Structure 1
Amino acid sequence: MVSFPNKLTEEMRQKIFEHQASFNLISGVVILHDIRDWSIVFMSERGLNDLKISEEELYSMTNEVYHARFFNADDAADYVPKISALMQKNSDTATVSFYQQLKFPDSPQWRWHLSSIRIFMRDDDGKPLITITISIPVDAMHHMAAKADRLLEENNFLRNNYTNFSKLSKREQTILREIALGKSSIEIADELCISPTTVDTHRRNIREKLNTKSSFEISKYARAFDLI
Structure 2
Amino acid sequence: MQGKLALPGVNLHVIDHWLQEEGHGVCEVGEVLPCIFCIIKSDLTLEYLNPAGFEWLNIQSKSFLYINESWLERSNKNAALKDFLDQLKPHLSKPDTEDVFHDLLRVWFPSESEYKLCLISAKKSVALGELIVMMQPLSDIHYLRQKIGRLADEEAFYLDNYSKFKQLTNREIEIISLLSKGMNNPQISRELNISRKTVEQHRKNINKKLHTNSFVELIKYAQVFDLQD
* Structure 1 and Structure 2 fold alike (TM over 0.5): no
> Which bracket does the TM-score occupy, shorter chain normalised?
0.3 to 0.5
Larger Rg: 1
Q: Which has the higher contact order (CA 8 A, sep 6+)?
A: 2
TM-score by length of 2: 0.45
